């Protein structure tokens, strides 16, 4: 695109509208990334809790087996 065309685009009424759309999209992307990060943190936390519970249950079951001997 030539410099003349760039200037015309920047001065056109559609340019402001397109800039507004671009800004809104960037905001939505940022919000989506934030929500994704929160969801990932919650998933990791739940996974860690499940692993701890499974680990505890496994060794609690092993302790019961030892008592029977």
CA atoms of 18 and 26, how far apart (whole Å): 12
* Number of domains present in the structure of the chain: 1
The pTM for the full model equals: 0.53
For each of the chain's 69 residues, which pLDDT tens digit applies?
A: 556 666 665 667 789 999 999 999 999 999 999 999 999 999 999 999 988 888 888 888 666 555 554
Tell me which residue range forms the domain holding 51: 3-68
- pLDDT, position 12: 76
- Whether the CA torsion 27, 31, 36, 37 is positive or negative: it is positive
Structure tokens at 30: 């940022």
The two counts, helices (H) then strands (E), for the chain are 2, 0
CA atoms of 18 and 10, how far apart (whole Å): 10
Q: CB neighbours of 1 closer than 8 A, spacing ≥ 6? A: 9
């Amino acid at each position: 695109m030539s410099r003349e065309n760039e200037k015309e685009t920047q001065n056109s009424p559609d340019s402001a509208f397109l800039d507004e759309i671009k800004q809104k999209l960037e905001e939505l992307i940022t919000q989506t990334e934030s929500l994704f990060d929160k969801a990932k943190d919650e998933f990791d936390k739940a996974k860690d809790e499940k692993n701890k519970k499974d680990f505890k249950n496994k060794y609690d079951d092993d302790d019961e087996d030892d008592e029977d001997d």
